[in-house]
Amino acid sequence: MVSPRRPRPAFVLAAAFSLAGLSLTGCSSAGHNLGDPAEAAQEATADGTELAFGQTARVVTTSFDTGVPVYWDVSVNAPTTLTPQEVEVNVGQDPPSIDLAPGYDPDPVKSYSCFTVTLTAVAGGPQDGGADVTVDMPQLSPVDASGQNANYVDAGDARYCGLDTDNEPPSYTGDIRTGHEYTTAVVTWRGEHDPGIVGTAVRLSTTPSPHSTDLPAQTLTWRAS
């Protein structure tokens, strides 16, 4: 199991957990059409929007190689607090201590906070018989009230939070089911002696394909209203 981590430098865009799945090489003669993207594109949430927990945003992901889009309705729930003992039950082993500088004793985690994220595909995928593709999923990260990167875990956020890992959102259009609510999570933590930067909000960031010049990048933030 990976150790909890303190925030990366602010210039690093990659966040606590990448939703990107494995790229599959097999394809069929006709890909999985998830629905007409024209209307969904008109409802995409503007870059820089801040939302309250529980509110829904329209997010677009794209295939880097082809620009094929998939549109999602995304919402983030307010955090729930878990003890290390509860996380141990969820992951099946003792949560590790926090990595500190050489020469310092490990600092145990006092508590974890889980932000559950729901993603529902609403449109997109290959049109007119195109082949299925893998889209670059949004990056999700915990941030503090000022937007600074917060304490995170390297991977396995859904397991920390006790979610069904079989219901995490796929990135391959052949596996995506329109209208199905997929779930994942973002985790932050508080140290026992040094709390570090504890996340109170969640930032979502997308990186559109260079073939999708009409689709701007989105950076959205959910926080308490």
* pLDDT score at 31: 63
170 burial class (0-12, 13-18, 19+ CB within 10 angstroms)? buried
The amino acid at residue 190 is R
How far apart are alpha carbons 149 and 159 in whole angstroms? 21
SS3 83: coil
Provide CB contacts within 8 A for 37, sequence distance 6+: 69, 71, 123, 124, 127
In tens digits, what is the pLDDT along the chain, a chain of 225 residues?
Answer: 455 777 743 322 223 333 433 222 233 344 667 878 888 888 999 999 999 999 999 999 999 999 999 999 999 999 999 999 999 999 998 877 776 666 667 788 999 999 999 999 999 998 877 899 999 999 999 999 999 999 999 888 999 999 999 999 999 999 999 999 999 999 999 999 899 999 999 999 999 999 998 988 999 999 999
2 burial class (0-12, 13-18, 19+ CB within 10 angstroms)? exposed
Look up residue 39 and give its two tokens: 């209307």
Whose CA is closest to 185, among 210, 162, 207, 208?
A: 162
